[in-house]
């Protein structure tokens, strides 16, 4: 239970070091534009990059654990669906709009270090603008670096595991550790970070120099594909379902006759059936009902049970 005393302590802890709000609407912080109020909403911020953010996040983790208060992590809000009734515990929003990537060169490799709350697409664009190859696929991924690492985000044949070298995390007791990427069990849309209860606070990537014009051309090509194939004009959480082995989720949904299928304000996109969109006024209940309908009907038609890629906050 979050008492008034707990709220006062969190307010004091975050004064001048971040953001602490009560009853903050999650619809303002998710790309679905859906979600009720979070009882406590925290954003650790610092001009000291990973170190400063990690220190405040560690204090927060230790305090909440001691008080027995549940905490959930939010990145860019691009792969989540927040409950209509709101969030009872604490939302720790790892969003960092101030820190810049730190680059250092070692031989032919350029190591880029970023905070977990850094925009993944922004970081990728910055690297590409510098003539660094390896993140072209990520210039349109709407999430943070930390969220991307948790799910080993990827697109168009590229994944975070291709260039990630190490990750700075906090464990359940708020202890900071630096782990090599090889220890994260990175695979398709998976890492062991959630099961180990880690909180990602920073990461380092190994990139290589490339031809600026070739890199720019690749970025423009992928951007055009996204605009052509994805319903970017509507709020969504990105791709709604994981790709089943041997299949494509969008194709299975289309073949089941569900293109444009609607529940309330939620709809299977007519442009790309792998996306569920908010056509206007959709609730989390609408989206969850639609997702379950799609899973059931696709299974009845194909024998394939789709697994949601979207995470549910409640």
Question: Where in the sequence numbering do the catalytic residues fall?
Answer: 189, 239, 309
CA–CA–CA angle 231, 259, 27 (5° rounding):
45
CB 61 within 8 A of CB 170: yes
Residue the block writes with tokens 């600026």: 212
The closest alpha carbon to 81, from 313, 305, 271, belongs to 313
Cβ burial, residue 70 (10 Å; 0-12/13-18/19+): exposed
The closest alpha carbon to 272, from 240, 232, 230, 233, belongs to 230
Q: How many CB atoms lie within 10 A of CB 312?
A: 13
The closest alpha carbon to 53, from 18, 91, 90, 2, belongs to 18
CA distance between the termini of the chain: 15
Distance CA(261)–CA(270), nearest Å, equals 9
b/e map 232-255, b = 16+ CB within 10 Å: bebbbbbbbbbbeeeeebbebbbe
Enumerate the β-bridge partners of residue 114: 203
Maximum alpha-carbon separation in the chain? 57
Tokens of 234: 């509507």
Distance CA(263)–CA(284), nearest Å, equals 11
Question: Over 189-235, what HEC string results?
Answer: CECCHHHHCCEEEEEEEEEEECCHHHHHHHHHHHHHHHHHHCCCCCC
């Amino acid at each position: 239970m979050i008492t008034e005393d707990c709220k006062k302590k969190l307010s004091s802890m975050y004064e001048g070091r971040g953001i602490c709000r009560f009853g903050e609407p999650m619809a303002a912080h998710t790309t679905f534009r859906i979600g009720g109020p979070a009882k406590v909403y925290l954003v650790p911020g610092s001009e000291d990059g990973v170190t400063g953010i990690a220190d405040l996040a560690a204090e927060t983790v230790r305090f909440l654990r001691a008080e027995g208060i549940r905490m959930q992590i939010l990145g860019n809000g691009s792969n989540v669906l927040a409950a209509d009734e709101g969030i009872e515990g604490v939302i720790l929003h790892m969003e960092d709009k101030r820190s810049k990537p730190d680059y250092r060169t070692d031989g032919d490799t350029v190591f880029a270090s970023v905070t977990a709350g850094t925009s993944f697409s922004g970081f990728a664009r910055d690297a590409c603008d510098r003539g660094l190859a390896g993140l072209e696929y990520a210039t349109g991924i709407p999430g943070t670096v930390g969220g991307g690492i948790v799910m080993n985000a990827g697109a168009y044949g590229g994944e975070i595991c291709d260039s990630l070298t190490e990750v700075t995390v906090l464990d359940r007791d708020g202890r900071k550790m630096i782990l090599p990427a090889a220890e994260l069990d990175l695979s398709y849309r998976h890492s062991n970070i959630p099961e180990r209860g880690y909180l990602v606070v920073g990461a380092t990537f190994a990139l290589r120099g490339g031809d600026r014009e070739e890199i720019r051309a690749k970025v423009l090509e992928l951007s055009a594909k996204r605009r052509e194939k994805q319903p970017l004009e509507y709020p969504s959480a990105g791709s709604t379902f994981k790709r089943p082995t041997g299949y494509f989720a969008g194709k299975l949904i289309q073949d089941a006759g569900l293109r444009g299928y609607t529940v309330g304000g939620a709809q299977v996109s007519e442009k790309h059936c792998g996306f569920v969109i908010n056509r206007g006024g959709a609730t989390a209940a609408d989206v969850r009902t639609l997702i379950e309908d799609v899973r059931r009907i696709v299974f009845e038609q194909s024998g394939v049970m789709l697994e949601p890629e979207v995470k549910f906050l409640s």
